[in-house]
Amino acid sequence: MEWIEQLPYGVDIKLLRESLEEVKKVGPMVFQGSEFGYNNFGGWNLQSRSGDYRDGFQVGIEKCYRKYWKSGTFNYHLAKFLDYSHAFEHKNKTNACVGALGSVVDFLESKGFYPRRMRLTCLKPHSKSIVHRDAPDEKYLARIHIPLITNEKCVHWTQHGEAHMPADGSVYMLWVNCMHQIRNESDEDRYHIICDAYDTKGLTQHFKYGGDINTLIDEAETYRKKLDSIKIDIFRKMAYTIGREFHVAKFKMEQKMIEASYKLNDKPQYT
């Protein structure tokens, strides 16, 4: 399976690294999955629903699907409680989208990639992300990566293979509807610009989007209307609050099982 492709575009790394220094002045980075005890992967959202750079990092939205007692349905009450947004709502430039970063958003939009949830991410030294997939196999979900600061000890692992993406001005697109994990075995922070992307103009070899992009736009609008109409009573709030610790513990146990199934526990351990 061709899971990664270098796109025929280049970026000015010097300008983007200067923008990174400006972003750091906007405010502290947000750690994704802090509610699950993770504090090694995060960054600043360059696109979000609200325009605030802290809006957009979310983990575990798949837990809103009722897998057991109402298979296939979505728990909008839980999504409201957890303040989850639809990915296509994260389209507005944030207060962290400064300098040359804004031109990246504009360029990808002009090429018909419909960038969403663009983030300037940081993976701390000697750490890793969780092992996860962002969509099922049959669903189109790809992501653009623009490495800014990295080294050969920073690897993107997937169930189909792994790769290091050098920070030489290259732009990459890769599938995230498969199990994957990012790992940083070095002594320095790894910085990438990433965003969900849809090749609506057929500019790539392996990531052409065959669907109707307006369907996703309408889906996001319907989702927001549904959430805005929901009121969560005190009893449901109590139930979700009590259940949070159980789900955090279950989530961590699932991570260990996933890593064992892919024999990732045989790789270097991380702090």
Amino acid of residue 200? T
Lowest mean pLDDT among 51-55, 156-160, 249-253: 249-253
- Sequence-separated (6 or more) residues with CB below 8 Å from residue 206: 2, 5, 173
Buried b (16+ CB within 10 A) or exposed e, 127-156: bbbbbbbbbeeeeebbbbbbbbbbeebbbb
Q: Yes or no: say if 95 and 46 are a contact pair by the CB < 8 Å rule.
A: no
CATH architecture of the domain with range 4-266: Sandwich (2.60)
Q: pLDDT at position 32, please?
A: 81
Lowest mean pLDDT among 82-96, 125-139, 189-203: 125-139
Q: Where are the domains of the chain?
A: 4-266
pLDDT digits (tens, 9 = 90+) for 13-34: 999 999 999 999 999 999 887 6
- What's this model's pTM, rounded to 2 decimal places? 0.90
Q: pLDDT at position 270, please?
A: 36
Q: Yes or no: say if 205 and 2 are a contact pair by the CB < 8 Å rule.
A: yes
Query: How far apart are alpha carbons 82 and 187 in whole angstroms?
Result: 34
Amino acid of residue 62? E
